[in-house]
Amino acid sequence: MKTHSLSIIACLLVLAACGKDDAPQSHAEEHAAEPARTGDGHIELSTEQIAAAGIEIVHAGAANIRETLPLYGVITPNAERMREVIARYPGVIRDVTKQVGDTVRQGERLATVESDESLETYSVVAPIAGVVTARNANPGEQTADKVLFTVADLSSVWVELSLFPRDLAKVRVGQQVRVANADAGIAAAGKITYVAPVGTAASQTLAARVLLENAERRWAPGLYVTAEVVLSEVRVNVAVRNAAIQTLDGRTVVFVRTDDGFQARPIRVGRMDSEQSEVVEGLSADDAYVAGNSFILKAELGKGEAEHGHD
Amino acid sequence: MTDGLLQFSIARRWLVMFLTLAAAAAGIWSYQRLPIDAVPDITNVQVQINTQAPGYSPLEVEQRITYVVETAIAGVPHLEYTRSLSRYGLSQVTVVFDDGTDIYFARNLVNERLQQAKGQLPANLEPTMGPIATGLGEIFLYTVHADDGARQPSGEPYDATALRTLQDWVIRPQLRQVPGVTEVNTIGGYERQFHVTPDPARLLAFGLTFDNIVQALERNNTSIGAGYIERNGEQYLIRSPGQVSDISAIERIIVAHRQGVPITIRDIADVGFGKQLRTGAATRDGKETVLGTAVMLIGENSRTVAKAVAAKLGEINATLPQGVRAEAVYDRTVLVEKTIGTVQTNLLEGAVLVVVVLLLMLGNVRAALLTAAVIPLSMLLLVTSMAQTRVSANLMSLGALDFGLIVDGAVIIVENCILRLSQAQHREGRLLALEERLRTVFAATREVFTPSLVSVLVVILVNLPILALTGVEGKMFRPMALTVIMALLAALVLSLTFVPAAVALGLTGKIEERENAIIRGARRAYLPVLDAALRFRTAFIVGAAVLVVACGWLAARLGSEFVPSLDEGDIAVQALRIPGTSLSQSLEMQLQIERSLADVPEVQTAFSRVGTAEVATDPMPPNIADGFIMFKDRAEWPDPHKSKELLLAQMRERLESLPGNAFEISQPIQLRFNELISGVRSDLGIKVNGDDLNRLLQTGNAIAGVLNGVPGAEGVKVEQIAGLPVLSVEANRAALYRYGLNVADVQDVLAAATGGEEAGQLFDGDQRFALVVRLPEHLRSDLRSLERLPVPLPQGGYVPLVEVATLNIAPGPNQISRENGKRRLVVSANVRGRDLGGFVADARKQIAAQVKLPPGYWLDYGGTFEQLESATQRLTVLVPVTLVLIFALLMMTFGSARDAALVFSGVPLALTGGVVFLWLRGIPLSITAGVGFITLSGVAVLTGVMMVAAIRDRLAGGAAIDDAIREGAMLRLRPILMVALVAALGFLPMALNTGTGAEVQRPLATVVIGGIISSTLLTLVVLPGLYRIAFRRPVSFVAAEVPR
């Protein structure tokens, strides 16, 4: 009899213990399902898988890397090509022939002034060819010492750029600059002609100047522009697209195509611009690397870490 | 008492019939109110508090929101625990209450505390409570879809934004009106926003800032009411409409004047429709889509609500623009109807089989029909009591029902009544007078009533340990045990009232006890067997004992699972990617998955949620996607007989070939339950509580190191808390000083530039769209442009961001989990080849010795071992108590320990057949199989009591022991066979069914059928021999009557 009740207890206890193995089992399955990955950053993928995952493979090669520095600036007239015209002998302005905006030749008459001393009239002429940008003279007025006209030669203009302390070391006279105004849809290239030796305390900046050809008069002084200073332009032997570069465990890597898949290859990046990066170490020219959708490979390597953060 | 009740039932038989009818009517009425679902609801009582904090990083969310909310909630009555997570832009605090707490009461408490907390939260942040729903709440999912040719009124094709707008402003508001729907959640597409994207260069040119634009927009986009004036007895209301309504109106808003020239928005910024910074997306069959989820209110009937939603969606579809449709992709009705259908078929077929058996064995149509009437009647009574006790009808609760068992009591009574009535008629040689008939029915019922009472009580007793289960197991199996108990009680009441009354009313004519061929054959076959059993009784008994031991050994090797999981038909594939994966990358990878599944012929449609939906019921980061794969009907499969396992294996293979994803395959409801319960799901979870994330991680790693050294440890894991790449822009205070800037100036520029700043709303009827000022996309996403972002200086001019702040990218906390108001990190481990208790004790000791906790840090030990420990403790007390109670019950019945023990012996013998059948069909032990064993012990006791009682009657009548045994056994052969046959056949359809949900019921049915075969054989063969051995000297009984 006793054996019977014992066996009942045994049976019920077996039932009671049913739950015991449940959780471990499901976890064991999880483990079994995890794909085998090797720890050295190698991933096996078939050609079909690569196509399905949208992985783009290209060859590393030589490229021009343009390092640039974007700056904001404003167009100002070329101060060297600007003249302020004052009446040589003070007197009364009898006649004014040019208005603001008029183009004048060198020596062309701007106004006629009657000298106070000689009471003779004489012509005030444009010292250079250019455009009248300011006129402060009307018939009947006294010239006194005031500037009657400003004539500017706008065939070239300056772009005044503000250099911040961080950029100072990079910018030198002679560097190429691309100047653009997106609103007006214009762009042009110029060179840095001057970097101010003295800074402004209030804005903590130094002025840099770009000389811009303006034969067509598109660059109106006062306009705000964006400028990109080309800091360096070098031809490098090995470059990869920026989209190829991933960080893996704190190292910078690109994924290189191998016979059966990909290998994460640590690299050292040199110069870079907005599209490409120079590879100083770790990759040779003609190596096939993943340029597009490289994140998928990083994800594949790290997928063991992926877990639902609910608990 | 029973005598009185019996007499009353027979005397007032018409009244009893009427009352029975009334009870039946109540049952039908209750059926309309009975909550029906596919599976039991295992969600705990919880309230989610979600606070959306756009732009906040996990650390800020935790510090500014989560902590405040948690502190406010702490100490709420009936609180079990709180847990929280802080993630990008979202704080979620889950407040779990004690089981049984009223959810509305709980929400009220939470709401009250939230009101207090609001003052301490950052401005504009509003904590909201999640929908009043459980894990079964997501009953209806649909996608909004446009045909390729469909065009918006503007002539453009419908894009994700346009579809989302339809969902937000046409579909969702209507679906929310459907009774029983508590929330309609949306994921996917983009909320329509108006974006003002200023060009930094132009801002500089005009000396303007983001703030100027925001202010200009805010000040030029309001309508006001200005009271009323009276004029000539009339009243004029005054309003001043000033809202802008379209892009050109926004463009004309003036921001500033420069030398008399007005500068408008148009001069400094582009204005257009933009996309929100979303936290989630949805896909379907390889395309982006908008996915809506109707969430059912707690305690509603999922079938009714899902149907109502479907109907409403049909109406809405008719009103949607040409070519746009909302299509149901998941409808709980399908599953519920399939499972309930399976249960119904099983019950119906079982009932038919039972009726056939009754007809064959009783040989009396009226008797058979009135016995069979007990089936629907007890069902209806059961429905009433389930509706009253709020036990939901589902696969589990209804699955354990066996009509055979239900009618057993009635069968015995009716059988005995027929026997006695016909004997009386024989004796008298005439039809009985009413008085005589009633007396005979009373006597016959009383004679056999005890066995059925005892068997019911035994089943109830055996169910007690199941009722004592707590937690998830309790929620799963308690309804099952309750249903069985209620059904049996209903049947018991019926067999005390309705059955005798009906017999008294119905069996009026000449009752011929027809021994049909089956019974005669059985008797002929049984006689020699009985003789042999008595002669070689020792051999039989030893054989039986060996069988029991052998089956015990077999049972230990069957393998076990907790509960066979319900096959929901469809599957859920959760795709996990590394933390930090962006939403668009994750979306692209999810689309790849769906495209790769497109040509699987069994797949009807596949859709997914990536990241978090609008209402963050499931706060998934963007690197995780919940994919749902809906299968076609089996009939449409190329091979309708393909097993689900094979299909799953093929799908898994396909999925695994896609690089970059890890998968967890489950099922829609299962997935939701896991998300909601979300405790530690491994054997042992050690929670490290403390303040500093790095120290938590160090301590966690140290603990993991120790655990790895404990024998039996497997799969030791430290929770991932870091890994989210964070770009931190740290203001350089020295530089700020030089430029005369504040930290906030820099932060504001950054926030406006990348996150965007909301500057009011645009209205279009009910629809309202945010007006957002943000940097143009090409500048926002480029790190180099961000570095050059101009920060305006107070004295005019600008300074690039990089001059005044340091930008660095470093992995930061992915999410911060807290429990009971403290940060925590979980180290989990599983145990192999070792008992759990010993492992945990060992681990505790070694950790205490080897890991030094920083001051203020502490450990909590949890995991399934906890539940197992408490369940084992409970069961080690309850199982023996139950056994003692059963024995005591039998003792009371027979007034003899020996007889009680004899009947008791039938139980383990009965179990043997169940074990053997499980083994034959390759089904592991599970709780459902356990319920089968419980049912079985009831049947075994029933037959045993009948047999022993009959033998005792003979002995009391003065018969010799051998004769008494032989006569008693022969007399009870028919009822025992009938009871066994109805019980076994009643479960036969359940054992053979392959429909949805059958896999949960199969183990139970298998156990019962196998067990009943062994139990019957053993009762008929071993019990007589055992009785003979136990019987030493003739005992004289005072009365044949069994004491109660």
Residues of B in contact with A183 (CB under 8 A): 202
- Measured CA to CA, the distance from residue B135 to residue B130 in angstroms comes to 12
pLDDT cut 90: percent of chain A above it: 7
Can you spell out the DSSP letters for B391-451? PPBSHHHHHT--HHHHHHHHHHHHHHHHHHHHHHHHHHTSPPPHHHHHHHHHHHHHHHHHH
Helices (H) and strands (E) in chain A, counts: 5, 21
Could you tell me how many CB contacts below 8 A there are between chain A and chain B?
A: 228
pLDDT at residue B513, as a whole number: 61
Write down the pLDDT at residue A10: 42
> CA of A273: which chain B residue's CA is closest?
B784
Beta-carbon contacts of residue B235 (< 8 Å; ≥ 6 apart): B228, B229
DSSP for residue B659: T
Neighbours of B193 (CB within 10 A): 21
Task: Give the model's confidence band at B104: pLDDT under 50 very low, under 70 low, under 90 confident, else very high.
Answer: very high
Chain A interface mutation, best of B476, B609, B661, highest count of A Cβ atoms under 10 Å: B661
pLDDT band at B12 (very low <50, low <70, confident <90, very high): confident
Evaluate if residue A25 carries a pLDDT over 60. no
Please spell the DSSP secondary structure of B966-980, one letter per residue: HHHHHHHHHHHHHHH
CB pair distance less than 8 Å for A297 and B660: yes
pLDDT above 60: residue B1042? no
Best B42, B617, B657 residue to mutate vs chain A (most A CBs within 10 Å): B657
Interface subset of A 292-311, CB within 8 angstroms of B: 293, 295-300, 302-311
What pLDDT is recorded for position B93?
92
- Give residues with Cβ within 8 angstroms of B449, minimum separation 6: B2, B6, B413, B495, B496
Check CB contact of A29 with chain B, cutoff 8 Å: no
Percent of chain B whose predicted confidence (pLDDT) is above 90? 11
Contact check, Cβ <8 Å, B657/A12: no
Give mean pLDDT, residues B993-998. Answer: 72
The pLDDT tens digits of the residues spanning B656-686 come to 888 888 888 888 887 877 777 665 567 788 8
A residues 142..161 contacting B (CB < 8 A): none
- Is there a contact between B167 and B239 (Cβ–Cβ < 8 Å)? no
**Rounded mean pLDDT, B939-967:** 82
Question: pLDDT tens digit string along B93-103?
Answer: 999 998 888 99
Average pLDDT, chain A: 79
**DSSP label of B851:** P
How many CB atoms are located within 10 Å of the residue A108 CB? 15
Nearest by CB to residue A72, choosing from B201, B675, B864, is B201
Structure token digits, residue B862? 């949890």
Length of chain B as a residue count: 1044
pLDDT for the residue B564: 61
Query: Which tens digit of pLDDT belongs to each residue from B247-262?
Result: 888 998 999 888 888 8
Contacts of A5 in chain B (CB under 8 A): 883, 887, 904
Mutation target to probe the B interface, by most B beta carbons within 10 A, among A3, A6, A13, A20 is A20
DSSP of A79-100, one letter per residue? GGGEEEEE-SS-EEEEEE---T
Q: What is the mean pLDDT of chain B?
A: 84
Of A1, A10, A296, the CB nearest to B589: A296
Subunit contact B578:A302, Cβ cutoff 8 A: yes
pLDDT band at B934 (very low <50, low <70, confident <90, very high): confident
Chain segment A98-117, per-residue pLDDT in tens? 888 888 999 999 999 998 88
| Cross-strand bridge partners of residue A130 | A104
Pairing type for strands B767-773 and B192-198 reads: parallel
pLDDT tens digits, one per residue of A189-198 = 889 998 888 8
- Residue B1035 is predicted with a pLDDT of 47
Express each pLDDT in B39-83 by its tens digit.
788 788 889 999 988 888 888 899 999 999 999 998 899 998 898
Per-residue pLDDT tens for B727-772? 888 888 888 888 888 998 888 888 888 888 888 888 888 888 889 8
Nearest to A21 among B560, B588, B826 (CB): B560
* pLDDT of the residue at A26: 36
Mapping DSSP to helix (H, G, I), strand (E, B) and coil, where does residue B276 land? Answer: coil
Sign of the CA dihedral running B90, B91, B94, B95 = negative
Question: pLDDT at position B561, please?
Answer: 63
The dihedral region occupied by B895, where left means phi > 0, alpha psi between -120 and 50, and beta the remainder, is: left
CB-based contact B479:B927 (threshold 8 Å): no
Q: Measuring CA to CA, which residue among B927, B942, B27 is closest to residue B487?
A: B27
Per-residue pLDDT, averaged over A56-70, amounts to: 86
What is the distance between the terminal CA atoms of chain A, rounded to a whole angstrom? 49
CB B953 within 8 A of CB B1040: yes
| B507 DSSP 8-state letter | -
Give the mean pLDDT of B116-131.
Answer: 88
Tell me, rounded to whole angstroms, the distance of Cα A234 from its chain centroid.
17
Is residue B727 less than 8 Å (CB to CB) from chain A? no
Rg (CA), chain A: 37
Closest Cβ opposite residue B879 in set A13, A22, A54: A13
Residue A7 is nearest to which of B872, B908, B925, comparing CB atoms? B908
Q: Is the pLDDT of residue B1040 over 50?
A: no
Nearest CB partner across the interface for A204, out of B659, B738, B904: B738
The residue with greater pLDDT, A140 or B533, is: A140
Q: Do B652 and A15 touch (CB under 8 A)?
A: no
Q: Is B573 on the interface with A (CB under 8 A)?
A: no
Q: Does B873 touch chain A (CB under 8 A)?
A: no
Do B178 and B313 form a contact (C-beta atoms < 8 A)? Answer: no
Taking the C-alpha atoms of residue B932 and residue B920, their distance in angstroms, rounded to an integer, is: 16
Lowest mean pLDDT among B142-151, B554-563, B844-853: B554-563
Query: What is the predicted pLDDT for the residue at A16?
Result: 42
Residue B367 in this model has a pLDDT that exceeds 50: yes
The secondary element (H helix, E strand) that includes residue A166 is helix A165-168
Residue with the bigger pLDDT between B92 and B879: it is: B92
Q: What are residue B860's DSSP bridge partners?
A: B687
From the CA atom positions of chain B, what is the Rg in Å?
37
Alpha carbon of A106: minimum distance to chain B alpha carbons (Å): 34
Hey, CA dihedral for B578, B583, B585, B586, is it positive or negative? positive
What percentage of residues in chain B have a pLDDT greater than 70? 96
Residues 6+ apart with CB under 8 A from B1008: B402, B914, B932, B935, B936, B939, B983, B984, B987
**Confidence tier at A306 by pLDDT (50, 70, 90):** low
Q: What is the pLDDT of residue B1043?
A: 40
Q: What is the mean pLDDT of residues B627-638?
A: 87
DSSP alpha helix (H) spans, B64-184: 67-73, 103-118, 160-166, 172-175
B506: Cβ–Cβ under 8 A, 6 or more apart, which residues? B366, B367, B370
**pLDDT for the residue B355:** 80
Q: Answer whether B620 sits within 8 Å of A225, measured CB to CB.
A: no
SS3 B228: strand
C-alpha to C-alpha distance for B905 and B961, rounded to whole angstroms: 20
- H-only helix segments in B657-723: 668-677, 693-709
Of A16, A43, A300, the CB nearest to B875: A16
Q: Average the pLDDT over A230-258 and give the result.
A: 86
For residue B814, give both structure tokens.
């992915």
pLDDT digits (tens, 9 = 90+) for B417-465: 888 888 888 887 777 777 888 888 888 888 888 777 887 888 788 787 7
| pLDDT score of B234 more than 70 | yes
pTM, two decimal places: 0.80
